[in-house]
A and B are shown apart, each in its own frame.
Chain A
Amino acid sequence: MLELKNISKTFNPGTVNAKLALNGLDLKLNDGDFVTVIGGNGAGKSTMLNAIAGVWKPDAGQIIIDGTDVTPMPEYKRAAFLGRVFQDPMMGTAANMWLEENLALAQRRGKRRTLRWAITNKEREQYREMLKTLDLGLEDRLTTRVGLLSGGQRQAVTLLMATMNRPKLLLLDEHTAALDPKTAAKVLELTDKLINEEKLTALMITHNMKDAIAHGNRLIMMNAGRIIFDVSGEEKKNLTVDMLLEQFSKASGQEFANDRALLN
């Protein structure tokens, strides 16, 4: 479904701040893989997701999504293949626009936008049903400005938007990190549900080791712009946080360091 071939990216090249963020990264995801991504500070986790999303072009390498080489495509064109949820709940929605307008924008992702009316009545009904499943009381607030919703509500809506039209790949960049623990758990539960229902292929960055173990069918650990540990199936299910930390120091030769990492 996704193939990253030898991706490299250096930020601020030729300056004292030069930073090799991705270093010959290779990754292949199978259809239906739900991969959790962990790693220390500056390991290249978000950089990898941004490379896939096309926020900038990599210095070297190739990105192939579902057989299409998307490397030269601008970000807005790649969006046709992707669903994205960001760490900042404010990032994923347009605050000044209505809830139903946000959903309608997402529904037209990857399609030609025309001079037809932006939302049909049929879609409105559909949105109401979808929002009902969130159980956040949003089904009666279709014409509320999204900016008036709470962070958790906005992140749930962003998740719904990201999974509309069944994207080839779902990119979750620490999407629960800015939420309080209770809301985070709820959003994570919703993530699981949507991915399972639609059998989506997904990459989820998390700073919570336990979550990384508990969710998905595969786990990758990154360090210095590469994948240093890749485990799936039964082996992943039997992982513990201690095993992960041990694996990290073995593969990288250093202690695991992440300002936000939750180890227990």
Chain B
Amino acid sequence: MSFLNALPGAIAQGIIWGLMAIGVYITYKLLDMADLTVDGSITTGAAVCAMLVIAGVNVWVAMLVAMVAGMLTGLLTGLFHTFMGIPPILAGILTQLILWSVNLKIMDSKANQGLSARTYDVLVTQLERGKSILLLLAVVGVIIALLYWFFGTEIGCGVRATGCNLQMSHAQGINTSFNKILGLVLSNGIVALSGALLAQYQGFADINMGRGAIVIGLAAVIIGDAIFGKITSNFALKLLAVIAGGVIYYIVYQLVIWLGLDTDLLKMLSALVVAVFLAVPYWKAKYFARPKKKEAK
């Protein structure tokens, strides 16, 4: 398969994973917590959507239910963290493991459920890439518009303040526990939606499809920020940059496959690239920092 032939597929997958990365952006950038729930909740979204469509439910309804299911996974992680005092990373890992069992049960105890566009009436499919890309862009546009609105409201500003400065938030009467849960619910709802779209696009839901999702999400966020971060401070455009990050990630992914790289190594390389990018701000501060004007005591 030539690289150019693979390009539309890379773009479509990039948009879907970019949507997933918007969920990661909410927790990682806005709430300042790395939420590992996403590795499970993306599969939950895929599984719920696939099973409902197979059962004859309308695909839009199936996607909506998948999103709600994802929100519930975020709620669980949020309660682990705020109500039970478990550190956010561990809370996410616990939910992720719970979801492994739950997802299997949703998929009727099978590791894989087919959702072929030839048999079922789905919204996006790799059989019709052009149409799928347009539909995906429309979905992404609606989600970004909704998030732009939400994070500009009083409640949304409270969520952002919670991620930025806990002590200040308390002093200003903001219920930070509620806001953390709210952020996790929103984030995982979006991640599950992207899972539902991915299941349709690739034509199946698989118990392993979420493995390392957090890394791909972080990669998209980081790439988007690295390339477009300096250009804009507009929130909607920043979210769009995350989508672009996802697309670029998948184009590069296709490129290295086309160049003949051993695909077994792809996950390792993705993780290493993300590790290096995460280290950049740290290295910058440690080795290249200009001495800051000290404040007199």
**A contacts, CB < 8 Å to B:** 53, 55, 75-77, 79-80, 82, 84, 86, 91-97, 101, 104-106, 108-111, 113-118, 151, 161-162, 177-181
Contacts and interface: CB of A to CB of B under 8 A. Distances in A.
30 contacts: A75-B170, A76-B175, A76-B176, A84-B171, A92-B171, A93-B165, A94-B161, A94-B169, A95-B164, A95-B165, A97-B157, A101-B157, A104-B154, A104-B157, A105-B172, A108-B172, A108-B173, A109-B171, A109-B173, A110-B173, A113-B154, A113-B174, A114-B153, A115-B150, A115-B153, A115-B154, A117-B153, A118-B153, A118-B154, A181-B296
A110 B158 CA distance: 13
Interface residues of B, number: 25
B172 A179 contact: no
A116 B295 contact: no
A178 B160 CA distance: 26
A87 to B, nearest CB: 11
B297 interface: yes
Interface in B142-190: 150, 152-158, 160-161, 164-165, 167-176
A113 B158 contact: yes
A180 B176 CA distance: 33
Q: Give the 10 A-B CB pairs with smallest separation, nearest first.
A: A79-B173, A180-B296, A94-B164, A113-B154, A118-B157, A109-B173, A84-B171, A75-B170, A94-B165, A115-B153
Given A115-B153, A116-B153, A96 B160 contact: yes
Contacts of A180: 295-296
**Do most interface residues of chain B lie in helix, strand or loop, or is the interface mixed?**
helix
Contacts of A177: 297
Nearest to A85: B171
Instruction: Kindly name the residue among B158, B169, B171, B295 whose own CB sees the greatest number of chain A CB atoms within 10 A.
Output: B171
A75 B164 CA distance: 18
Instruction: Kindly name the residue among A110, A113, A179 whose own CB sees the greatest number of chain B CB atoms within 10 A.
Output: A113
A85 B100 CA distance: 46
A180 B296 CA distance: 5
A118 B172 CA distance: 14
Contact of B171 (A79, A113, A151): A79
A75 B170 CA distance: 6
A76 B174 contact: yes
A79 B170 contact: yes
Contact of B155 (A84, A101, A114, A179): A114
Given A179-B295, A181-B296, A105 B174 contact: yes
A263 B29 CA distance: 45
Contact of B154 (A75, A94, A96, A114): A114
A164 to B, nearest CB: 10
Instruction: Kindly name the residue among A108, A111, A179 whose own CB sees the greatest number of chain B CB atoms within 10 A.
Output: A108
A115 to B, nearest CB: 5
A181 B296 CA distance: 8
A101 B158 CA distance: 10
Contact of A86 (B157, B161, B167): B167
B157 A151 contact: no
B160 A109 contact: no
A94 B168 contact: yes
Nearest to B162: A94
A82 B153 CA distance: 23
Given A77-B173, A93-B165, A94-B168, A105 B295 contact: no
A255 to B, nearest CB: 23
A113 B296 contact: no
Contacts of A97: 157, 160-161, 164
